[in-house]
């Protein structure tokens, strides 16, 4: 079995181009790589990667928003009082099970400014 390590990072790459009309064309790439510990094999998690590519044209000083990078995480936890949680019919009084599910969307706001000098 071979294992290759990869950084799990959030990266943003913007390539701007100024037009003759003083607008800015931007080629934008967003990449979100996260480790998925729920699917780990031998303690090594796979890396889930989401990528968004777009090209926008905006006025100098105008703001554009990039979305579409969603995150979702589910966690489960089990807590119990040692030995007491094993009592038949009463054990449930001494243990707690919980599942937490959270999700969100990454929004990136970009405002290009043309510097004149």
Q: What is the mean pLDDT of residues 44-60?
A: 91
85 pLDDT band, cuts 50/70/90, is confident
Per-residue pLDDT for 1 more than 70? no
pLDDT at 36: 82
Q: What is the mean pLDDT of residues 35-45?
A: 82
Residues ≥6 apart with Cβ < 8 Å to 2:
none
Per-residue pLDDT for 112 more than 90? yes
For β-strands 64-80 and 95-110, DSSP reports them as antiparallel
Residue listed under structure tokens 């009309």: 21
Domain boundaries, the chain: 10-110
Instruction: Work out the burial of residue 82: count CB atoms within 10 Å of its CB; fewer than 13 is exposed, 13-18 middle, 19 or more buried.
Output: exposed
């Amino acid at each position: 079995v071979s294992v290759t390590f990869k950084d799990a990072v959030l990266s943003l790459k913007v390539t701007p181009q100024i037009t003759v009309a003083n607008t800015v064309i931007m080629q934008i790439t967003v990449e979100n790589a996260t480790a998925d510990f729920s699917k780990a094999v031998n303690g090594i998690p796979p890396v889930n990667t989401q990528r968004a590519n777009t090209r926008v044209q905006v006025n100098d000083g105008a703001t554009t928003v990039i979305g579409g990078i969603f995150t979702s995480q589910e966690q489960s936890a089990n807590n119990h009082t040692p030995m007491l949680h094993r009592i038949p019919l009463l054990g449930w009084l001494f243990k707690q099970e919980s599942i937490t599910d959270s999700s969100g969307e990454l929004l990136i706001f970009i405002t290009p400014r043309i510097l004149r000098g």
